[in-house]
Amino acid sequence: MKGGRVLIGGFFTCLLVLFSCGSNDKVAKGDKPTREELKGRIKVMEDSIKGLQSNLATIKQIPNLTHYELINRLLDYYHFYPEDDYAAECLDKIHMKYTGLNIPSKAAEYADTLLQKYPRYPNRALVLESQGSTFDAFLQPRDTSKVRYYYELLLRENPSMNKQKRKEIKERLNHLSLSFDQYIEFKMNSIPQQ
- Place 101 in a pLDDT band, splitting at 50, 70 and 90: very high
All structural domains of the chain with their residue ranges: 1-81, 105-194
**Letter string b/e over residues 100-123, b meaning 16 or more CB atoms within 10 A of that residue's CB:** eeeebeebbebbbebbeebeebee
> Is the pLDDT assigned to residue 56 strictly greater than 90?
no
Q: What is the percent of the chain with per-residue pLDDT over 70, rounded to a whole number?
A: 84
Give me the pLDDT at residue 24, please: 52
Give me the pLDDT at residue 11, please: 39
> Is the pLDDT assigned to residue 7 strictly greater than 50?
no
Q: What pLDDT digit, counting tens, does each position of 141-160 carry?
A: 999 999 999 999 999 999 99
Q: What pLDDT digit, counting tens, does each position of 157-178 carry?
A: 999 999 999 999 999 999 999 9
Give me the pLDDT at residue 12, please: 46
